[in-house]
């Protein structure tokens, strides 16, 4: 949680992430839903673990038919979250890029 709060105030830390990134603590019980909503809304999401490691999810920019599919997906995510199902599961839009990073923001795998 500390890294998430520090990222708000530290321009150097914030520059590691794409614009509009949502920094979400991994230990938040609703983290899966929060990441899923950000991604289906077209925004990157960073799942930050207590030891500083993180997963960066970057959705592909959508246009045309893909945008319609994402809108439908976003509606389904919203309906499922209202029912309380799969609250801790991250659902990914098509062609989402995932990058694992260490506590310094250096890529471990992509």
Q: Position of tokens 């890294």?
A: 3
Q: Is the pLDDT of residue 24 over 70?
A: yes
Crossing angle for the helix pair 31-40 and 65-83, to the nearest 10 degrees: 160
- Its pTM stands at 0.70
Range of the domain at 19: 2-109
Q: What is the mean pLDDT of residues 3-32?
A: 80
Residue 36, pLDDT score: 87
Rounded to whole angstroms, the Cα distance separating 91 from 57 reads 11
**Domains in the chain, number:** 1
| Predicted confidence (pLDDT) per residue in 77-91, tens digit | 555 655 555 556 777
| Predicted confidence (pLDDT) per residue in 30-53, tens digit | 898 899 889 888 899 999 999 989
């Amino acid at each position: 949680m500390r890294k998430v709060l520090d990222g708000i105030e530290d321009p150097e830390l914030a520059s590691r992430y794409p614009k509009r990134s949502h920094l979400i603590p991994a230990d938040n019980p609703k983290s899966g839903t929060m990441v899923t909503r950000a991604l289906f809304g077209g925004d990157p999401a960073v799942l930050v673990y207590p030891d500083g490691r993180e997963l960066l999810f970057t959705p592909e920019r959508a246009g045309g038919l893909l945008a319609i599919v994402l809108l439908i997906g976003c509606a389904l995510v919203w309906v499922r979250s209202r029912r309380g199902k799969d609250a801790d599961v991250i659902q990914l839009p098509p062609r989402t890029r995932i990058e694992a990073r260490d506590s310094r923001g250096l890529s471990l795998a992509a």
